[in-house]
Each structure stands twice: as C-alpha cells, then as structure tokens.
Amino acid sequence: MLETAPFSRLLRKALLTYLLIGTAALVSYGLYGWQREERDAHDNLLTLSRFLASASQAFFDELGNGLAPLGELLDQPALREHPEILRPYLLTFQNRHPQVRAVVVFAPDGEMLLNTAVPPGKPLPDFRLDPPYIKQLLLDMSSPLPYTVGPPEIGKAIKVWRFSVRHVVRGRDGKPRLLVQAAIPLEKKGTFLHQLPVPSGSFIGLLRTDGYQQARFPVADANATYGQLSPGPVARMIKANPAITAGYFSASSPWVTGEKQRIGAFTRLTGMDLYAYVSVPASTIVDRWWRHSAPILISFLVFFGICVVIAYRVTRRERMHSSELFEQTQRDALTGLPNRGCLNSVLAANIAASSAGTTPFSILFIDLDRFKGINDTLGHAVGDALLIKVAERIQPLLRRGDVLGRFGGDEFLLVLPGSDESGAILTTRRIFDAFSIPFEVNGRALRITPSLGIALYPRHGEDIETLLKHADTAMYESKRLGRNAYTVYAEQMGSRVRERLEMEHELRDALQNEAFQIVYQPIVSMRSGEVVAVEALVRWVMPDGRLRSPVEFIQVAEDSGLIIPLGQWVLRTACIQMTRWVSLGLDFRVAVNLSTHQFQDPHLKENVMITLQETGLDAARLELEVTESAAMLNPEDSITILGELSALGIRIAIDDFGTGYSSLGYLKRIPADTIKIDKTFVDGLGHPQDATIVRAVIALARALEKDTVAEGIETEAQFDAIQAMGCDSAQGYWISRPVEAAAMTHLLSKGARLVAASKTLSKGGATWIHAHDKASK
C-alpha cells in the first residue's frame, strides 16, 4: 500500500513542475502558431487575388475577342438599311454569354443602329445628345486595342449599373466602320464575380487605376459603390505607387455597415488598368489560430485533470480492482466501446425483448473505407488514434438506449432498439454528415468514409448469426456500389457476394497469366492538334477474346488488394511501349493512373524508380495521374510523395479535378504539372454554372502555372467551347477512342494530327476517328 501523505506531496510537486513547463511551452507554441496562420493567410489571399485576376482577364478576353467575329458578321449594307434583320446575330451572341444584358451597335458618328434591350419597332435613344457618353464612345472608337472595358454607369436602356466591353470594326484604311458593345450588369447576382468559387465571407472586386470600382461582390448599395472614388486601402496604395503590381492590405471596410477590420491582397491584370482584389475578415486568422491551437490547450487542461483524477483514484484502486477486471472483459481496450462479446449480449437482449413485444429493431454494420491504406502508410498508432476519433464522432449522434460497439479491426456495430428501416436510414444520414468533416489525428487532417449495411429484426433474421451475416453482406454491397454509401439488406445480395468472390478468383488467375491488355487514348494540344501524350488504360482479355472494361473489375481489385500487382503491371507495360515509341522518334509522353491503394503504398517511389531503370524510359516521358479525392485522403503525405516523384523528373497530373475536397491552400502546394477537368463538368457546358466552373478551373490553373486537360470531349461543340476558354489540351471520344499500341504506332508514325489547329479544319477529329477505326480492324 502507498502512504497517502508522501504520495500527495510528490503529486503536488510533479503537477507544479508540469504547469510551469507546460505554460512556457504553450506560450511559445501560441506565438509560433499565430505567425504561421498570418503567413498562410497572406499567401492564400495573394493566390486568390491572382486567381481572380486571371479569371477576370479570361472573362474579358473571351467576351472582347468574341465581339470581333460578331462585328464582321454585322459589317454589311443591311446594317444601315434594315438593321432589324441582323438582330438574331446579336441575340445568339447574348445567349452564349449569359452575363451580357444587352448588345448594341453604333455607327462611327455615334448613332445607335441596333440594341437588344430595345424591342423591335421602338425608337432607339440618341446618345449623341449626351456629351460625356459620346466623348467616351468616340475615344473608344480611336483605341488601337482589340477591345476596351468602360467604366461603370447606369445603362440608359437597361436602367441598372453596368459596364461595357467594346470592339471596333475597321476598314482597310483603318477607319472605324462600326462599334459593337456588350453591356455587363452589376446587379447583386448579375455580375460574373458572384459565380467564382471563393471562400464564404470574401469581398472580391476589380478596381480601376483611377480609383473607381469596376465591379464588386457583394454590393449592398450600388449607388454608394459605383460612380465615385473608392475610399478603400487598395485605391490609396495604387495612388501612392502607380507601378505596384501586387500587395497586401489591412484596414476597416467602408462598404459594409458595421464591418470591422479586414485583410486582403490585390493583383494587377496583365495589360489592363485594373486590379483584382479579395478580402476576408481579420478575425479569420484568430479563428484559424484557435481551431489549430485549441486541441493543444485542451489537451493540457485534460492532462492536468487526469493527474487530479489519478490522485483521487489511487485511494480507491484496491476496492475497484475486481469490478475493473470485469469491465475490461466487456469493453474494447482501444476505444472503450462494448466489444464483440458484449455486443452479442446486447443483441440477445434485444431479440428477447422484441420477440416478447413484437417490437422491431435494426443493426448497422459500419466499415471504414480504405482504412488499411492509412494503417500501412501512416502506421498503426495513427490508425488506432483514428478509430478512437471515429467512435467519438459517432456517439453524440445516438439516442438514449442505442449501443455502439467495436466489432473488430475497423468495423463497428450499431444496435438501434425500436428502430425500423426509416429510423435506421435517418441515423445513417447523420453518420455520413459527421464523416464529411476531416478527422484531426496527430496534426493531420484525415478524410475517411464509411460503408454501411443495414439489417432489420425480424425481417432479415431471427437470430444473432443471421442478422450479423446479412448486415455484413449489405455493407459489402455498399462497397460494391462505390463506397461511402449505405445499403439495406435484400435477398439478391447473397448471389452478388458469391459473384464477387468468383471474380476475385478469376482476377488472380488473370494476373498470373497476364490476361490483360493496354489501350491508349491520345491527349492533344488544343492549339496545334498534335498528340502531346497518351493515357494508358487497362482492359481484361476474356478467354473468348472479349475485352472487359475496368468499370466491371477495378472495384473488386481494389477491395482484394490485387490492384497493387495489377497497377504495377500496367506501369511496366506502358513504360516498355513508350520506350519503343521513343526509339521510333515519336515525341510525346505516356500517362498512367495510380489507384488509391497504389498511391498509399509505402513502396510506390521505389517501384516507380525500378520500373524506369529496368525499362530504360526517361522519367520526363512518364506522367502519373492521381485522383483529387485520393490525394486529399491525407494531404500532407500526398504533397510529400508527389514531391519525391516530381523530383525524379516525372510529371504529375491531378485527375477528376473538381470532384474531391481539395482546398486552394493544398492545391498550390501540390507539385502537380497538370490539372484534368472532370468529364462531368465538360458534359454540363450547356449550363452556365458548369461553364463558369470550367472557366474558373482554367483560370486557377493558369494562376498556379499548371497545364489543363479537358476529359471526355465527345462533340465538336464541346471542343470549341473548351478551346475558347483557353484550355491547353483535350482527350475524348470525339478526338479518338482508346486504341491498341499497334494502331497508335501506325497512325502517329505518319505524323498525323488528331484535331486541326483552326476552326475551319476542325473536321480533322472525325477524319482521325474514321482512320483509326479502320486501322484497328
């Protein structure tokens, strides 16, 4: 037995020493954390301002340069004699650019000839009677620039604040023949700025070098914002130093009532007298500092509390020893949740109660997706800490009487007494909402998703073994459907589980016999039409010669771990083929996809280096594609491994961009050379929101000095639209379907271009498709 008094004195001394050392450490940590958050905030704001400048420049270029062909169409005698005949040209242009409220045509003397905001038959306003307006109009007529961007003013026809983009059509003598004007409204939700993906709480805008606002979002009072000199800090800094191109600022905001201190950054648009700026509340730094520092402070307080509790418990240890031993047999040692034995008792009690009162209950089988990858790459200590965090995240969602237990490994079981199918689904949705937030584990932000299977008593089983088996089967069905999903058990699932096991067995045989084939889909430059890369895509060759799409078997390969040897075979085969192409004098690179399991493999870098060494392929000829969601599972480690691969000379591409969770802060740090725009956004180009996202991604990539590739181009219209937005490269069925290596060699050795460089020759895409179809036969 310990003596109480001496032990108490030792404990008080230890606590005092801990408090002194801990307080000093906390102060140092807090100062360091503040400086780090302040530095990161400045870097992020400057990157955002560059993105905004690039996106705005792209918007002006697309609109201004788009007015040129419209002007050429309008330059005909009918414009003077019967201008209304040409109105459809203006309306077509306006429909293609939803941010435009009106399109206007002026004669060289300032006479208005046509205005889409004025209905046919109505008299047109004569701005020649407005001296300030006609002065600016004639000034723009004499501008040598491809287009001009006018200051904000209240439109005479559309009656709201707007600015104009103007293009002058000139004759061979250089004199103006007509001027085409597009009016961009500056309403609260009409400006192009409100569609850009920036953090909530941001103020963004464009400021003219003369100190007037060009555009801003949000705007509480347009009359107080436009038409008068800006009182903000950016205007003052530009006036003091007209040559400045970028910078930071910190000041109170005069635009929003009650708004306190804000911080921001600005960047000048290339070749234009405009600055893009963005600001956020200064409290953002405080919030981020507290969010990152609070766990340390709380841990300190918790540890202090634990020390006090330990001192109290020492005096009771002997009396509680036997009860603790019993508790340990019923609890999971890691999470403190009921263990498998305890869960069996809970299930037996619920079955007995439900049988007596005919009350149903439900169970949820929860499995963590790709948990093994985290364990293998980050270590079991991180995996254990993540399991504890998962238990802590789920427990607050439960009702009184619900029981959450750890079934084993990364599997949890949730028992919901008195809950029918709708109640189980409601709980499931709450769990998914909780998992949408990353888990903070040892300073890392880890994203993980659950797959859930639901079984109901007595519908899906009247004993423990049957219920658990059916819940487990439903969980595997969720994984088959793509993970991060829930499934209620149904009878036909049993046969699908058997089919999955049979496919896994067939996959193992196919790997042993190398019953796979690589096909290659070209990636072409949207400027020259030349092939810049080919993407290696795997197909499973069946005994009857039929090719099986990876959509049918990749999920099984992922779940079984066979994706690692399969991915290594694809990498090696693609590198060997690329070496052959290089020996023929062909100049492009090969892109190979990395699965999530491959990317988390601790031997990835070593395997890639060995493959390059054995095949003799130059690292610069290889591009590795990683999906955005895979890279964001563990962002810090992703940045490290991608940096190591990039240091070898290998190009890095972020695939399916826009479908994951990447933040701007991580994106600018990832050493990627290429951003691939996901096919879902390309398919949605007809919708203004998707088109805005694509335009913003291209602008973002340009600001971060990265190339862009648009995936899934299936029509000429999609190609033309993406090309007009400034995308670098494209791939898709309209350009070429994936073809075998021999067919690709045959066509590329002739120096064929897949897509013509100009609009007038764009039928090259169809010609190529026809050619390679014949070659593949």
Tens digit of each residue's pLDDT (9 = 90 or more) over 620-670: 999 999 987 777 767 788 888 999 999 999 999 998 776 554 556 667 788
- Looking at residue 750, its pLDDT comes to 67
| Distance (Å, whole) CA 40 – CA 34 | 10
Q: Pick 581 or 282 by higher pLDDT.
A: 581
Q: Pick 478 or 574 by higher pLDDT.
A: 574
Average pLDDT in the chain: 82
pLDDT at 618 over 90: yes
- Looking at residue 256, its pLDDT comes to 43
- Looking at residue 442, its pLDDT comes to 87
pLDDT at 315 over 70: no
Q: What is the mean pLDDT of residues 153-171?
A: 87
| Distance (Å, whole) CA 763 – CA 568 | 38
Tell me the residue type at 340: R
Least confident interval from 267-271, 588-592, 673-677: 267-271
pLDDT digits (tens, 9 = 90+) for 719-768: 999 999 999 999 999 999 999 999 999 878 766 566 654 332 333 333 34
| Distance (Å, whole) CA 196 – CA 51 | 10
Q: What is the dihedral of CA 111, 113, 116, 117, to 10 degrees?
A: 40
pLDDT at 674 over 90: yes
| One-character DSSP codes across 157-193 | TT-SEEEEEEEEEE-TTS-EEEEEEEEEE-STTTSGG
Can you point out the beta strands (E) in 108-152?
Answer: 112-115, 148-149
Q: Which two tokens stand for residue 198?
A: 């920036």
Q: What is the mean pLDDT of residues 387-403?
A: 91
pLDDT at 450 over 90: yes
| One-character DSSP codes across 347-402 | HHHHHHHHHHHT--EEEEEEEETTHHHHHHHH-HHHHHHHHHHHHHHHGGGPPTT-
pLDDT digits (tens, 9 = 90+) for 89-128: 999 998 888 888 899 999 999 999 999 999 998 899 888 8
**Residue 333 banded pLDDT, cuts 50, 70, 90:** confident
How many CB atoms neighbour CB 69 within 10 A? 13
pLDDT digits (tens, 9 = 90+) for 188-199: 554 666 666 666
Q: Pick 714 or 760 by higher pLDDT.
A: 714
Q: What is the mean pLDDT of residues 56-67?
A: 86
Query: Phi and psi (nearest 5°) for 398?
Result: -90, 155
| Distance (Å, whole) CA 465 – CA 40 | 53
pLDDT digits (tens, 9 = 90+) for 475-509: 988 887 778 888 888 877 766 666 777 888 888 88
How many CB atoms neighbour CB 28 within 10 A? 10
pLDDT at 771 over 60: no
**Residue 42 banded pLDDT, cuts 50, 70, 90:** confident
pLDDT at 777 over 60: no
pLDDT at 318 over 60: no
Local structure of residue 106 (DSSP, 8 states)? E
Strand pairing category for 589-594 and 622-627 = parallel
pTM over 0.75: no
**Residue 309 banded pLDDT, cuts 50, 70, 90:** low
Residue-wise over 421-459: b if at least 16 C-beta within 10 A, else e? eebbbebbeebeeebeebbebeebbbbbbbbbbbbbbee
Alpha helices in 169-276 (DSSP H): 222-225, 233-240
**Type and span of the H or E element at 207:** strand 203-208
% of the chain surpassing 90 pLDDT: 32
Least confident interval from 230-244, 258-272, 586-600, 699-713: 258-272
- Looking at residue 722, its pLDDT comes to 92
Local structure of residue 705 (DSSP, 8 states)? T
- Looking at residue 305, its pLDDT comes to 59
- Looking at residue 515, its pLDDT comes to 92
* 421 to 46, 396, 461, 483, 643: CA distances (angstroms): 50, 21, 14, 20, 47
**Coil vs helix vs strand at 338:** strand
- Looking at residue 211, its pLDDT comes to 87
**Residue 776 banded pLDDT, cuts 50, 70, 90:** very low
Q: What is the mean pLDDT of residues 428-434?
A: 91
How many CB atoms neighbour CB 483 within 10 A? 18
pLDDT digits (tens, 9 = 90+) for 122-155: 899 888 888 888 888 899 999 888 899 989 888 8
**Type and span of the H or E element at 296:** helix 283-314
| Distance (Å, whole) CA 506 – CA 510 | 6
